Chains A and B, each alone.
Chain A
Amino acid sequence: GAGVSQSPRYKVAKRGQDVALRCDPISGHVSLFWYQQALGQGPEFLTYFQNEAQLDKSGLPSDRFFAERPEGSVSTLKIQRTQQEDSAVYLCASSPEGRGLGTGELFFGEGSRLTVL
């Protein structure tokens, strides 16, 4: 399909395990974002890439969280030593624009639902 694709859709991890979540943005989209959405809350900003450059990682909650987009396309969000409070839906979004243009339309994937037991 032509939309943002995320995998896995569902992930159950035992506390302490490492997980990796993948995002395939819409082809050609310059900007890529990761958000974390807890139940009943709005999406919380985690990090932003413009092409392969990670321009903002101010939302990453701890050094256990790491994101990369090495070739400016696919991105991976890695969470090390998962904790129960990491349980949430992780949303990836892409936009055809880089910063400075800002029409504000993000195209979201369906998310990866992480449950840490």
Chain B
Amino acid sequence: DTAVSQTPKYLVTQMGNDKSIKCEQNLGHDTMYWYKQDSKKFLKIMFSYNNKELIINETVPNRFSPKSPDKAHLNLHINSLELGDSAVYFCASSLPAGNSPLHFGNGTRLTVT
């Protein structure tokens, strides 16, 4: 009964490929996020969706396209993968209220070779 689940856990692919990471939450939250943690362990927000609507887009390259088919899912599609995209990607969700905590998934480790 995992609250925020991401698949796959590990993803190894070559430069230039297109890949997707899926995220699902069963907490009934309206807001979902994608965060990126690089090799230096900095955790930065990429996107935020509230009820399927894009709220935050932190100047992420156009190669990254989030898709929210419903408020329980927020998938991340990445086109033309580059070496610098290698990182751990975390999905999270929260209630829309301003001071509600985030619940994170356990991450997807993406390695681009």
A and B: real partners?
A: no
Taking Cβ atoms with an 8 Å cutoff, the residues of A that contact B are: none
